[in-house]
Every structure is written in C-alpha cells, then in structure tokens.
Amino acid sequence: MIDLMKRTRIGNGGGFWGDNRDAPVDLARTGRLDYLTIEYLAELTMSILALLRQRDPKAGYAHDFLETLKQLGPILANQPDLKIVTNAGGMNSLSCGERSAAILADAGLTSHPVAIVTGDDLLPRLDELLAAGHPLTNLDTGEAFETIRSRVVSANAYLGAKPIAEALIAGAKVIITGRVADASLTVGPAMAEHGWAWDDWDRLSAATVAGHLIECGAQATGGLWTDWQAVPDLANVGYPIADIAADGGFHIEKPPKTGGRGNIETIAEQLLYEVGDPARYLTPDVVADFTSVTLAEPARNVVSVASFRGLPATDSYKVSIAYRDGFAASGMLVLLGPDAPAKARFAGQMILDRLARAGAAFDHSLIETLGAGACVPDVVKAAVDPPEVVLRVAVRDADKAKVDRFTREFAPLVTSGPPGVTGYTTGRPVVRDVFAYWPALIRKTAVDSEVKIHRMS
C-alpha cells in the first residue's frame, strides 16, 4: 500500500567517471539523504573499462568508487539507513561488488549487504545472439553488424530499474550495477520506497524525470549555466537532491551552505540535455513525456517539478557497442607574434606535406588554430588576429606505423618552421587506440538481469 505522506530523498554525487571526488562524501554528509547515487558510465568509459578487463580479468570497473566507499564508511556507520546505488561496476560488477563488500567488512559495516546486478554484458553472447536472430544493426546508419564484428571490444544493454528495486526490497544497502539507463539509478529507489506498480506509467515518468535532472550532477545546480557569472561560489557547488513524494511530484534542491544555483533555468537546461524527442524520452522503464512537465521556484535554490505523463516502455533495450577503429594522435605547439594564426596554419600544413612526401597520407587529418575561433568555426570569429595561438594537428588512420611517424614531425618545426614556435618541451604526442560507437537495439526477452546479494552477517 502506498504511503501518501512518504517522501524519499535521492542525491546524486557524480555525473561521470572523473567528476569531483569530494562530492559524494560531502553530499552524503550534509544532504539528509535516503539514497546516494553515483553515476560513472559513458560510452567511451565502457570502452576503456573493457580494455582494462582484457588486461586483467578482475579489473574493468570504476576503481575510484572503492576509495569513495572507504571515505563513506564513517557516514554509513552514523546513517545506517543511507543506501548507495551506483553503476561503478562498469564491465565487471562482480569484482567491484566483491571489493566493495570487503571494504565494508573492514569498516565493521557487516550489516550492509551488497547487491551486484549483472546481465548487461552481451559481449560473451554476441555470436549466440546473432544466430538467434538479433541482428544488432546500427541504429543510426542501418549498417550490418557483421562489418565490425571482429573488432568489437564491448557490448552492453542498458538495463532498467527493476533489478535495482529488487535488490533494495531484498535488503541490500549498497547496489553495484554495470550499464543501466542513467535515470534508472533514481527510478529503482523511488519504486522500492513508494511501492508503485511497474505499469504506473505517469509515476514512472516522474521518477525518470527526477533521475534525468540529477544524473549529471552539478549541471542541475549551476554548472554549465549560461548565466555563469551569477552563480555564487561555483568552486563549492552543491550537488542535486531529488525529494520525491508518493504521488510522483518532487523538487530539486542542494545542500545548505553550498555554492551553485538551482532555479527554473538551470533545471530547464538539464531537462532538455541530451534529449532527442522531448515528447518521447525512451528509457527501459517508461517512455516519458517531458513536454507535460511544469516547473516552479517556491524558494531560493528549490525547484518543484510536477505534471507527468508516461507511456508504456518499448520491448527493446538499447545496446551500446564499442569497436576498434584505427589509431590517432594529436600534438600542439604555440605560435606567437605577428600573423600568428596564419603562421600556425602554415606550420600545420608543413607537417602534413612532409608526411605526404614520405608516403604517409591519412584517413583523417585536422589542423586547428585554437584562439582564432577554431573551436566553433565560422561561429565565433576574432575581431583582430590574436598575438598567439595554439596549433593543434590531429590524424587518424588504420595504420599505426603512419600515426607513429606523425608524432615525430612536431619538433622539427622549432628550427625549420616559421618564427615564433614554442611550447615544444612536453615530448612527442602519444598514439592511442580509437574506439567507435555502434548503437543497436535488442529485444528485452533476450536479456536476463540477475541480482546477487553478498551478505556479511
């Protein structure tokens, strides 16, 4: 039975792997939370984690989470009802979960069961799935999956909130997942706490909107806001909290005595972030209609969100696939003095011309003059030539040897290029693997999630 007076406070302490290391701990300490979520994964992150797992079968997860969990130990001891939900498991939820359980045990938190959600990793099953009639055609281009099959390094379905809710209902205090939809980190706790039905599409939509608003961390509380000059103490920005009522209505706030700014503009900007069709925001849990949402600002740094509509979820999961697509390198030099942009472009072309004479033409190459409008060509133009620019030259090719030769062509410009070359003391550029993204769909019936609970007492 739904408790109409109940509210659930879910705060997100990280928007990606590499976000502010202090944010989860600060948020847990001051946010009066029921749940702390930490979002680590992006498509590129999954590729990196897949390579780490190839080198070490026990690796492949966001190892920063383990240090964060150690710091959270005293807070969990003082707030025994606080629960953590994170996708730090990446490509290896089992290893991450086992390490997490050991950390909690060492901290004396044996009453904190750890749940491990698996089933998203489709890499070991690819041939089986193809043979069973799941083509994994490129969602954007219609290309056949067979064209990249031999180069695939990761393939993960975006699971939904059900296994997270299942783990919480079973008593888990820390939930480690691999690839799940970002908003599902919030939807799972909301469903478990409020007891909503899985076909209550409007409330599922409400929880999805809440999850979407906080999933990128400080973007909802002043980060990237167009009026950045008006944000107080952005260096001490508070991370967002969704306070969700039993009817699905909620408000977004940040902890007291933190910097940042939460208002209708910051929330509206995040609402439309990475959204294709706002009337049909597709998730594994629900198709959410963002156009029905209303925003109000009842108090400073508090934005209330209401009026939700949802439609039944589709019968497919999105699959994020990464595959090897050659090698790349980029290098930079500083050009200063009169006609700096022209000198930089000239020097960049010298590099490519020398390589072409040596027989090294590239599949892709790029010359940029940073400081002269190169970040957004033909959009932002310098009124006058700047006195200095950064030359950036990048190449990409299937032949690693050619890319390696490219890295050796920057230093010669010091004496054989135009005058005003500096900034060359950092060594040669590094050749790196290129991973390309392949989006696909798979029927939900082909994917089975599993929840394993590690109990220590």
b/e sequence 355-389, b meaning 16+ C-beta within 10 Å: beeeebebeebebbbbbbbbeeeeeeeeeeeeebb
Count of domains for the chain? 2
Quick: pLDDT tens for 384-442.
Answer: 889 999 999 999 999 999 999 999 999 999 999 999 999 877 789 999 999 999 999 99
H or E stretch including 266? helix 264-271
269 shares its domain with 176: yes
Q: Do 68 and 15 reside in the same domain of the chain?
A: yes
Is residue 306 located within the same domain as residue 424?
Answer: no
- Both tokens of residue 86? 């994170």
Model confidence band, residue 4 (pLDDT cutoffs 50, 70, 90): low
pLDDT tens-digit map of 61-100: 999 999 999 999 999 999 999 999 999 999 999 999 999 9
Judgement on whether residues 65 and 22 belong to the same structural domain of the protein: yes
pLDDT at 229 over 70: yes
Instruction: Please report whether residue 40 resides in a domain.
Output: yes
The radius of gyration computed from the CA coordinates of the chain, to the nearest angstrom, equals: 25
CA distances from 124 to 139, 150, 315 (A): 21, 13, 22
238 DSSP 8-state letter: P
Residue at which a domain ends, from 314, 330, 350: 314
Asked if 272 and 303 sit in the same domain, the reply is yes
**360 and 278 in one domain?**
no
pLDDT in tens, 340-399: 999 999 999 999 999 999 999 999 999 999 999 888 888 877 778 899 999 999 999 999
Would the pTM of this model clear 0.85, i.e. be above it? yes
Question: Do 307 and 190 lie in a common domain?
Answer: yes
Q: Output the pLDDT for position 306.
A: 97
The answer to whether residue 452 is domain-embedded is no
Count CA atoms within 13 Å of residue 261 on its CB side. 18
Per-residue pLDDT, 384: 82
**Could you give the dihedral angle defined by the CA atoms of residues 148, 154, 157 and 160, in that order, rounded to the nearest 10 degrees?**
-160
Instruction: Decide if 347 is inside a domain.
Output: yes
Confidence of residue 109 (pLDDT cuts 50, 70, 90): very high
- Say whether both 96 and 194 belong to one domain: yes
- Is residue 141 assigned to a domain? no
Using CA atoms, how far residue 374 sits from 289, 382, 396, in Å, is 37, 10, 19
Contacts of residue 242, defined as CB under 8 A and 6 or more positions apart, other chains included, come to: 9, 10, 11, 12, 186, 210, 211, 213, 214, 250, 251, 252
**Sequential DSSP letters for 139-196:** TTT---GGGTGGGEEEEEE-B-SHHHHHHHHTT-SEEE-SSB-TTHHHHHHHHHHH--
List the single range of 154-168, 236-250, 259-273, 374-388 with lowest mean pLDDT.
Answer: 374-388
Q: Which domain holds residue 340?
A: 322-435
pLDDT in tens, 254-302: 999 999 999 999 999 999 999 999 999 999 999 999 999 999 999 999 9
Cα–Cα distance measured from residue 386 to residue 406, given in angstroms and rounded to the nearest whole number: 27
145 — phi, psi (to 5°)? Answer: -60, -30
Lowest mean pLDDT among 21-35, 40-54, 333-347: 40-54
Q: Are residues 310 and 393 in the same domain?
A: no
242 and 351 co-located in one domain: no
454 within domain boundaries: no
* pLDDT above 90 coverage of the chain, percent: 91
CA 82 to chain centroid, in Å, comes to 24
151, part of any domain:
no
Counted residue by residue, the chain has a size of 457
Residue that terminates a domain, selected from 280, 314, 348: 314
| Domain annotation covers residue 58 | yes
442 found inside a domain: no
Both 262 and 387 in a single domain? no
The rounded mean pLDDT for the chain is 95
Q: Answer yes or no: do 305 and 196 share one domain.
A: yes
- CATH number for the domain including 332? 3.30.70
Question: Final residue of a domain: which of 314, 345, 376?
Answer: 314
